[in-house]
Amino acid sequence: MGRKQNRVWKYVHFCVACLIVLLIIGCGISEKIKILREDKVASEHLLRAKELLIKQDYEGSLEENQKVLSISENKPPADEALFNMGLIYSHHGYQKRDYKKSLTFYKRLIKDFPASPLVEQAKIWIGVLEVIEKIKQVDIEIEEKKKGFSR
């Protein structure tokens, strides 16, 4: 009798161990599924942002890129969203163009995603925008001197 009871307990222990393993695996799989779902949603927003930018809906594109940032946090495709936002704020067709905001997005991209393939392009844009800002400042100084001479 002792042997049969011992077998039953071994079977119970085996079943409990299997349940624990299944729970651990299930948690890991559900986390991966969640990540894949977030990546898919972020990619859809990024695609929508690009479509809106082509249609010159800058505000809509900014909103979609912002959604990508909030979904992706500090992992790709957030780097692409930051780059796109930098492009929008420096775009000649955007009436709310703001080179300083554009610079902040490019600098954030470089800081948060140093391994991104977009870093080199962001560095180029930073250089161009800084030159534009310097030229604007020189123009302002020239206008002030002109006003000083005309008085």
What domain count does the chain have?
1
In a domain, 102, yes or no: yes
In a domain, 126, yes or no: yes
In a domain, 11, yes or no: no
pLDDT tens profile 127-145: 999 999 999 999 899 898 8
ω into residue 76 within 30 of 0, thus cis? no
Q: Give the global pTM.
A: 0.75
* In a domain? residue 6: no
For residue 38, the enclosing domain spans 32-150
35: which DSSP letter?
H
**Residue 4 falls inside a structural domain:** no
Cβ atoms of residues 35 and 26 within 8 Å: no
Nearest in space to 90 (alpha carbons), one of 114, 115, 44, 124: 124
- Find the CATH number of the domain harbouring 100: 1.25.40.10
Rounded to an integer, what distance in angstroms lies between the CA atom of residue 122 and that of residue 120? 5
pLDDT digits (tens, 9 = 90+) for 64-101: 999 999 999 889 999 999 999 999 999 999 999 999 99
